[in-house]
Amino acid sequence: MYIVTGGAGFIGSGFVWELNRMGMRDIIIVDNLNCSEKWKNLVNLSFQDYEHKDTFLEILEKDKFPGVEAVIHMGACSSTTETNADYLIRNNLRYSQRLAAYCRKKRARFIYASSAATFGNGQAGFSDDPEQIERLKPMNMYGYSKHLFDLWLHRLGWLDRAVGLKFFNVYGPNEYHKGEMQSVVRKAYFQIQETGKVKLFKSYHPDYAHGEQKRDFIYLKDCLKVMAWLVEHSEVNGIFNLGSGRADSWNNLVEAVFAALDMQPRIEYIDMPEAIRSKYQYYTRARMDRLCSTGCPVNFHSLRQGVQDYVQNHLALEDPYLG
């Protein structure tokens, strides 16, 4: 049995799709559907049951799910602008601690979502070397909540039987419900449909021209391949970056969307909200050497390839969901 928390969400539902492709159906999905549209991500998937996140832990800890082989913990508050620290501690730290303790006790595989937000402004670099973890200083409460859990596992010595994945900028199918946290690829696609152009934030850093701020963009389907490999290789443990290993500009990203639509780029640069200017990351790039050294296949899509697949084989279709 596999348990996927956040299983109706972006990466979680994608991983259930990947498990189905591997022939696995004995899956418990944990999430909070509430009044969201996330349920649409589940329609094409095959799984055993759904549990609400608020009641799941109590059921789990009473051993109501025998034979759990792995818990893939993608469930959390993923909003980088969330300011309620108590809420983030409950959802991103305490909940994760209880799941990790259960997996430790039951000797089940535990794979969870950390975040590139733990690196803060990047001044300490983007190395996932475990010796560097104490040096990181996140810039927002979301990143700090993720960092606290990484530190907790590290200090307990529990990373010998767990995998944390520091996701960089993931884009791909099944993200439509994420509101402002949707990728710029999806936002750009619909801006182009509506106005024929895309709006990007101006740069406020002298070393970066407008739209030349750089990010490590990684396609969802590449993330899922890595996660599937890690499920099958329990000898590989620790915290790893999960990005493309490349830094591409926002201009490059938007140009890739226009190219997928066979259109000439039209970009308008707009003011960045003052509230985020001091916390804005101008450059991210995952160091992928540690993950590569494990033998994990990391031959990922290029930015153009990933965007083209997402736009033409998902966003442009009436049924854009994985499955």
What is the C-alpha to C-alpha distance for residues 311 and 199, in angstroms, rounded to an integer?
18
**Local structure of residue 52 (DSSP, 8 states):** E
Annotate 4-19 with b (16+ C-beta within 10 A) or e (fewer). bbbbbbbbbbbbbbbb
**68, two tokens:** 């759990």
**19, 1 contact by CB (below 8 A):** no
Task: Tell me if residue 178 is catalytic.
Answer: yes
The full DSSP string for 3-36 is EEETTTSHHHHHHHHHHHHTT---EEEEE--TTS
Give 64: exposed, middle or buried? Use CB within 10 Å, 0-12, 13-18, 19+.
Answer: exposed
- The catalytic position among 40, 106, 178, 279 is 178
Could you say which of 102, 142, 176, 189 is catalytic? 142
DSSP annotation of 289 reads H
Cα separation, 250 vs 198, whole angstroms = 11
Residues assigned a catalytic role:
142, 178
